């Protein structure tokens, strides 16, 4: 039986606008957006792959076009921002990624590679094997890369450390945390397809006994949590980071590190201010393209209401 085709929705834009366009498309179509730049033509394409083509309607197209016009008016160079669609076999989609996905190396500590690329492993280097899937989180996006770097930086090999991954996507952060020696490791995502893919990736990396990604809605978690973690990654959209700040912080132990990512640069100051009012202090930050990510230490000891 043939697998159902995907509907590929693509915006042809500029490298500068890639991440902003990906965010807009992801939120509008409720599917992760991926982008790549052709090195020969310097053309950047951002795509969403919809498993249910009925999601793409004339109204959605108008909404996307209007959103592109708004960011253009705000000064972002989106180029022609041409919208195109065509059906794509799942097998062809998977093969297309092989031309663009490269290994990620974070010092001597961590290597993330696709299954079709073999690379010498350095002594003591943790290895995560991850092939691109429909779920966001291959590690190449700036926000995911920052989270991986912080996982490596925060790991203290001489002592146990726990880790919580909010919005796990492909499971890359949770799997990397297990490989780096964090325990226990917990992960959740609201999207059932992301959870399925993350569980599959955990099995592939033989860590399914040490992390079981689960489906969970952050907004429905208790405000306070008896379980607190040494390191928490929340790679989420800014609106969720702001609305659920107290829930997020209450899952971080005093002295622990919270990594916030998925934040547009223009929104970062507001996010930082909210978390600092809750007793956190920024210890690291990084800009990449239109994004800014930050790591914060929790100074306050009481749960936050």
Give the pLDDT band (50/70/90) at residue 1: very low
Strand locations in 14-150, DSSP E? 33-37, 44-50, 82-88, 104-106, 110-113, 126-129
Residue 235 has pLDDT above 50, yes or no: yes
Question: Domain segments of the chain: what residues?
Answer: 6-95, 139-298
139-298 topology per CATH = Rossmann fold (3.40.50)
Residue 9 has pLDDT above 70, yes or no: yes
Residues 16-37 have a mean pLDDT of: 79
The model's pLDDT over 32-86, given as tens digits with 9 standing for 90+, comes to 677 777 767 778 888 888 877 677 889 999 999 999 999 888 888 888 899 999 8
| Cα–Cα distance measured from residue 189 to residue 214, given in angstroms and rounded to the nearest whole number | 7
pLDDT at 157: 87
pLDDT at 137: 45
pLDDT at 217: 95
Residue 24 has pLDDT above 90, yes or no: no
pLDDT at 114: 81
Strand locations in 123-170, DSSP E? 126-129, 163-166
pLDDT at 294: 96
Residue 290 has pLDDT above 50, yes or no: yes
Q: Which CATH number fits domain 6-95: 3.30.530.80, 3.20.20.140, 3.30.70.120, 3.40.190.290?
A: 3.30.70.120
pLDDT at 136: 43
Q: Is the peptide bond prior to 184 cis by the omega test (within 30 degrees of 0)?
A: yes
Residues 227-243 have a mean pLDDT of: 93
pLDDT at 138: 47
More confident residue, 210 or 145: 210
The model's pLDDT over 80-136, given as tens digits with 9 standing for 90+, comes to 899 999 887 766 655 655 655 678 888 899 998 888 788 888 899 999 998 765 444
More confident residue, 101 or 297: 297
Strand locations in 89-241, DSSP E? 104-106, 110-113, 126-129, 163-166, 185-189, 214-215, 229-235
The model's pLDDT over 163-197, given as tens digits with 9 standing for 90+, comes to 999 999 889 999 999 999 999 999 999 888 789 88
- Residue whose entry in the numeric block shows the structure tokens 């309607």: 57
| Cα–Cα distance measured from residue 67 to residue 264, given in angstroms and rounded to the nearest whole number | 15
Residue 141 has pLDDT above 70, yes or no: no
| Cα–Cα distance measured from residue 114 to residue 104, given in angstroms and rounded to the nearest whole number | 9
């Amino acid at each position: 039986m043939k697998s159902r085709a995907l509907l590929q929705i693509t915006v042809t834009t500029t490298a500068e606008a890639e991440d902003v366009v990906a965010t807009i498309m992801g939120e509008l179509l409720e599917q992760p957006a991926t982008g790549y730049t052709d090195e020969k033509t310097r053309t950047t394409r951002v795509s969403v792959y919809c498993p249910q083509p009925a999601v793409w309607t004339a109204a959605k197209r108008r909404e996307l076009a209007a959103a592109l016009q708004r960011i253009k008016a705000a000064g972002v160079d989106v180029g022609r921002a041409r919208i195109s669609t065509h059906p794509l076999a799942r097998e062809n989609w998977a093969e297309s990624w092989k031309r663009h996905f490269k290994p990620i190396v974070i010092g001597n500590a961590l290597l993330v590679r696709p299954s079709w690329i073999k690379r010498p492993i350095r002594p003591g280097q943790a290895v995560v094997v991850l092939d691109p899937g429909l779920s966001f989180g291959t590690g190449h996006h700036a926000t995911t890369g920052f989270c991986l770097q912080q996982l490596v930086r925060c790991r203290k090999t001489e002592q146990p450390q726990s880790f919580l991954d909010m919005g796990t996507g492909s499971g890359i952060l949770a799997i990397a945390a297990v490989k780096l020696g964090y325990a226990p490791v917990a992960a959740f995502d609201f999207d059932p397809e992301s959870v399925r893919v993350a569980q599959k990736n955990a099995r592939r990396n033989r860590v399914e006994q040490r992390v079981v990604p689960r489906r969970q809605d952050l907004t429905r978690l208790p405000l306070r949590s008896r379980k607190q973690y040494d390191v928490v990654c929340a790679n989420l959209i800014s609106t969720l980071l702001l609305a659920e700040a107290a829930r997020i912080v209450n899952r971080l132990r005093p002295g622990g590190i919270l990594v916030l990512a998925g934040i547009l640069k223009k929104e970062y100051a507001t996010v930082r201010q909210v978390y600092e009012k809750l007793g956190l202090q920024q210890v690291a930050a990084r800009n990449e393209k239109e994004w800014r990510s930050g790591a914060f230490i929790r100074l306050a000891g009481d749960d936050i209401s």
